[in-house]
Structure 1
């Protein structure tokens, strides 16, 4: 469900109890309809994912993810006077980026918006458990339900590639920012990175599910119902992932929207080449079979390869080959 269209400067009343309820159990008819309606697909897919999303992506709200979120912010925005007074997260998901940035001293208060009611519900629940001053709305990124010059900072993680009109969304971001306010978006797939990540994921999925059909590895196979549900979600994922980005083109989009001081940064090359197969195996194999040693291996290898990417490969590999794109810009004063 989208927010109602509005004229610039017109405020939409924030009435949380009028927001739609989450729908985590879409019918087959709804799924089929979503295949032709990208915004319905966004809602169904992310409502389906909301309650398990943090576990799926190993998201936490402790030092590990605080450091990760703050590292992404600093990597693209550089040193900034902190904290910002009020921040907005666009396409908040479970609140991962904003809540960890707030804990890391980047912002004092926050607002979260997402097209998915389920994601907003979980993000607000996470904020409450962390005692963070955050409000939230179900909203379309192309028509943000806040008045002009409201926020000092707008952030998002893995959201721009879900938005049909990215330039329009960035215009809205600049509208709700105060003059001199900054936006920071991270976790966006590059065109080349997305290509090799998807192929690695497909090959790993096929290999793992074939091996676990063998009787010797039968207890390493997730129940068929869970595998079928993952395949169903993957069908919607193909609909909700609308864009990949060349970092230079992403800078051009932000500039065309009206931003200044625009800069794109990329990260994860060797880390992505290992990370995507590891994540895919986690979807196909019961968690109890992998255990703590697997999790420790995944984290240690990611940190090691990230260091290699930053200290070595960044100097020899073109930035478009890295998997993640980050973008920042400022509203003109």
Structure 2
């Protein structure tokens, strides 16, 4: 297992990874499926419209279109450590109704004022972050009281699987289980309700891509298996 220095802010993706993030498989089966699940997890009575959304790890900008259409924000702040953010997102930015502000910075050192965003969307990005403790504290700092985080993340079992290590690049020593992610979130003083947490065990997140279940009709016991994914909505306490 490789080690990383917390001063390192970026593990550059492979060419295959960059290609995959622009495929329909990524958009339909990863991004949209996660958002569909997250919207289902909103507590009853909580708003699902947000004035300002911070999108952590915007990448090629597919998330901008989804956030724009689903939540009708006035502004989306697209954050990514990649200096090519403007080039990669140009087409998607033009298609959004919301104002799109591009912010090239490290998620562990967000250059935004405290209490300045209503919602944070962090989808398949947190496992790329080296200094995860600082990043979750930054999420708390920039979020307004009563604001929420939509968090959809791959867990250690998935990132440490052979096929993912072969095709993608990640800071391997910082990967966490679902329970370790929840502890990190709670330790940052976020409010987490177990009813707003799900652990989808999707075919693409398994070491064998779901072949064993297809052949046998059996699935691992959710009470004993190590999870591959976690989706959660959690809130910053109101002042």
Residue 265 of structure 1 pairs with residue 198 of structure 2: yes
Change (3 A) 1:146 1:200: closer
Contact 1:87 / 1:109 at 8 angstroms: preserved in 2? yes
Higher alpha-carbon deviation: 319-328 or 92-101: 319-328
Q: TM-score when scaled to structure 2? A: 0.76
| Equivalent residue, structure 2, for 1:68 | 33
- If asked which structure has higher relative contact order (CA below 8 Å, sep 6+), I would say 2
Structure 1 CA distance for aligned equivalents of residues 51 and 118 of structure 2: 6
Residue 142 of structure 1 pairs with residue 108 of structure 2: yes
For 1:328, which of 222, 230, 233 is the aligned residue?
A: 233
Aligned-residue CA RMSD (Å): 3.6
Contact 2:177 / 2:226 at 8 angstroms: preserved in 1? no
Residue 39 of structure 1 pairs with residue 8 of structure 2: yes
Q: TM-score when scaled to structure 1? A: 0.57
Change (3 A) 1:40 1:141: closer
CA offset at residue 83 of structure 1? 0.9
Count of residue correspondences: 229
Q: Which has the larger radius of gyration?
A: 1
Find the residue that maps to 2:180 and give its secondary structure: helix
Find the residue that maps to 1:45 and give its secondary structure: coil
Structure 2 CA distance for aligned equivalents of residues 323 and 262 of structure 1: 20
Find the residue that maps to 1:180 and give its secondary structure: strand
Gaps of 5+ in 1: 1-34, 203-230, 279-304
Find the residue that maps to 2:13 and give its secondary structure: helix
Residue 247 of structure 1 pairs with residue 187 of structure 2: no
Structure 2 CA distance for aligned equivalents of residues 323 and 174 of structure 1: 25
TM-superposition CA deviations, 1:155-188 (whole Å, max 9, x none):
11111111122121111111111110001111x2
Structure 2 CA distance for aligned equivalents of residues 242 and 119 of structure 1: 26
Gaps of 5+ in 2: none
Q: How does 1:101-140 map to 2 (within 5 A)?
A: 101-105=67-71, 107-140=73-106
For 1:83, which of 49, 54, 74 is the aligned residue?
A: 49
| Equivalent residue, structure 2, for 1:21 | none
Find the residue that maps to 2:75 and give its secondary structure: strand
Change (3 A) 1:136 1:324: same
Structure 2 CA distance for aligned equivalents of residues 183 and 319 of structure 1: 28
Change (3 A) 1:96 1:76: farther
Structure 1 CA distance for aligned equivalents of residues 6 and 23 of structure 2: 25
Structure 2 CA distance for aligned equivalents of residues 127 and 275 of structure 1: 37
Find the residue that maps to 1:39 and give its secondary structure: coil
Find the residue that maps to 2:51 and give its secondary structure: strand
Residue 199 of structure 1 pairs with residue 162 of structure 2: yes
CA offset at residue 275 of structure 1? 7.8
TM-superposition CA deviations, 1:1-43 (whole Å, max 9, x none):
xxxxxxxxxxxxxxxxxxxxxxxxxxxxxxxxxx98983653x
Structure 2 CA distance for aligned equivalents of residues 171 and 58 of structure 1: 32
| Equivalent residue, structure 2, for 1:4 | none
